[in-house]
Amino acid sequence: MALSDTLEEIRNAFEAGATPREDIRILDAHVEFLSASGAAEQALPEGTVAPEFAMPATTGATVTLSDLRAGGPAVLVWFRGNW
Amino acid sequence: MAELEALQASLPGFEDLGATLVGICPQLPEHSAELKARLGLTFELLHDAGNRTADAYGLALDTPPEVVEVERRLGLDLPTFNGTRDWRLPMPASVCVDRGGVIRSMVAQTDHTLRPEPEATIERLRSGLQT
């Protein structure tokens, strides 16, 4: 199954669940606001130099972008959290 | 965490291109460690304390007060979870960086219920490598 199908199932389950309609409306309105505000366009564009970083991994080791791209391309996937 | 599981399933596709995949998240490392173990992830999850790296990439967003209230009602205490005092969050994003340190693709989502398909990211990576 494609990831988009799984996400749609999660979305449908959320809407069918116990969350009040008004709360769902507030969350949807925020998503619409972000889309309309062009927030995604503030992300660095293709062709620009990726800012270097140093962040701790779950192992405690510090990982830099230079480390990640030393042997090939690096793919950075931002996610919001476990919740 | 459907996205991370899908990425794990597609990991060989990234490795075939010599790419290294990491997840980046502002939550405290203990939460990412738990997630990594629970989902059996073999790629690393990095702790972006205070969304500093997300800021540098233009990915950090403020959460308005009415949304904070809803999230609290849903049981989320983001500042405690992230070890911060604010409710800022990164946009979900997939970024491909080439060996020279240049961004070859950037897909940022303002709708947090959407994510790029891992296979589409692999395809963008492949086409970026050819240019």
Name which of A30, A35, A48 is nearest B103 (Cβ-Cβ): A48
Name which of A26, A40, A50 is nearest B108 (Cβ-Cβ): A40
Tens digits of residue pLDDT in A2-59: 888 887 887 778 778 878 888 888 888 888 888 888 888 899 999 999 999 999 999 9
The ipTM (two decimal places) reads 0.91
Query: For residue B130, what pLDDT band results from cuts at 50, 70 and 90?
Result: low
* pLDDT for res B74: 85
Name the pTM for this structure: 0.87
- What is the domain-level CATH number for residue B8? 3.40.30.10
Tens digits of residue pLDDT in B21-65: 999 999 999 999 999 999 999 999 999 999 999 999 999 998 889
Which residues have a Cβ under 8 Å from the Cβ of A30 and sit 6 or more positions away?
A: B64, B66, B67
For range B3-18, the mean pLDDT: 94
pLDDT at residue B80 greater than cutoff 80: yes
Chain B residues inside the 8 Å CB shell of A72:
17-20, 99
* pLDDT for res A46: 94
Residue of B10, B34, B39, B46 to mutate when probing chain A, most A C-beta within 10 A = B46
Count structural domains, chain B: 1
Chain A residues inside the 8 Å CB shell of B125:
73, 75
B41 touches chain A (CB under 8 A): no
A64, HSE (Cβ side, Cα atoms, 13 Å): 6
For residue B9, which amino acid is it? A
Lowest mean pLDDT among A6-15, B8-17, B97-106: A6-15
Q: Which domain holds residue B101?
A: 2-130
8 Å CB contact between A73 and B12: no
